[in-house]
């Protein structure tokens, strides 16, 4: 599919979680000069009066009920961008609804919270074994490492890279022990190294997603992605506020 970028302007379809209002707004929108469509406003009710995030899960079912019906009515030649969806399993599900572009904040959210994504990669049925499609649990590592869990360990856990087989700079040059130490002393390099790794795994995720679409194996990929949903209470934690950075004031 080729997308026209003549005007480089994405139009927004309003209506919140109400399908009728979304379709009404769609019918009154002239897309002749649009280069894409923005699908936002599904989670406005998830912000309370103090501007703090609330539980968004009840809104997901509503969004995924509206989304496929709305996308069917959108101009097929225009790419669709969906905001505030960044969990891997939700991204994959939204693709099946007709969405093309997503929020790219997942690597930052994980790195900010001291999490390394252990994404092993997905392979099509024709090239995969049952073992290679299994998801390791948990699918992330939290830093700094829990010393209580490491008591009696030979130290091999400290000497391992974040993820075996990962080609990123962090995994090739550093180990878990070093990254855990950086987090323990609130060193900003800890989050930088995690960002490098998490970005690399995110690129692999989207590469796998495109392969699943191409091979018509989204059902298998959706099942695979269920093991890669991060608890929202841990990705809301911001450890970067404690990092030792220069005072520019």
Q: Are 78 and 31 in contact (CB under 8 A)?
A: yes
Q: Are 89 and 214 in contact (CB under 8 A)?
A: no
Q: Are 204 and 71 in contact (CB under 8 A)?
A: no
Ordered per-residue pLDDT tens for the chain, 249 residues: 455 555 579 999 988 889 999 999 999 999 988 999 999 988 765 544 444 555 677 778 889 999 999 999 999 999 999 998 999 999 999 999 999 999 999 999 999 999 999 999 998 866 555 444 555 567 999 999 987 666 655 667 789 999 999 999 999 999 999 999 999 999 999 999 999 999 999 999 999 999 999 999 999 999 999 999 999 888 888 988 776 554 544
Q: Are 34 and 9 in contact (CB under 8 A)?
A: yes
Rounded to an integer, what distance in angstroms lies between the CA atom of residue 91 and that of residue 209? 9
State pTM to two decimals.
Answer: 0.86
Provide the 3-class DSSP secondary structure of residue 236: coil
Q: Are 153 and 189 in contact (CB under 8 A)?
A: no
Eight-state DSSP code of residue 72: H
């Amino acid at each position: 599919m080729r997308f026209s970028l003549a005007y480089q302007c994405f139009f927004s379809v309003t209506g919140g979680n109400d399908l009728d209002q979304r379709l009404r707004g769609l019918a009154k929108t002239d897309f002749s000069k649009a280069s894409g469509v923005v699908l936002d406003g599904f989670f406005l009710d998830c912000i309370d009066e103090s501007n703090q995030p609330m539980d968004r899960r009840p809104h997901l079912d509503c969004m995924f009920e509206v989304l496929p019906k709305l996308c069917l009515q959108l101009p097929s030649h225009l790419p669709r961008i969906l905001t505030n969806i960044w969990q891997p399993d939700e991204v994959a599900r939204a693709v099946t609804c007709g969405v093309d572009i997503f929020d790219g904040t997942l690597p930052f959210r994980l790195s900010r919270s001291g999490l390394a994504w252990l994404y092993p990669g997905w392979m099509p049925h024709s090239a995969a074994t049952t073992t290679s499609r299994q998801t390791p649990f948990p699918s992330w590592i939290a830093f700094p490492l829990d010393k209580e869990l490491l008591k009696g360990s030979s130290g091999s856990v400290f000497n391992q890279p974040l993820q075996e087989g990962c080609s990123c700079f962090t995994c090739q040059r550093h180990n878990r022990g070093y990254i855990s130490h950086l987090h323990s002393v609130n060193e900003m390099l800890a989050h930088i190294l995690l960002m490098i790794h998490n970005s690399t795994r995110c690129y692999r995720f989207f590469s796998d997603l495109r392969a699943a679409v191409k091979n018509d194996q989204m059902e298998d990929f959706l099942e695979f992605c269920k093991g890669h949903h991060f608890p929202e209470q841990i990705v809301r934690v911001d450890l970067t506020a404690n990092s030792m950075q220069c005072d520019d004031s």
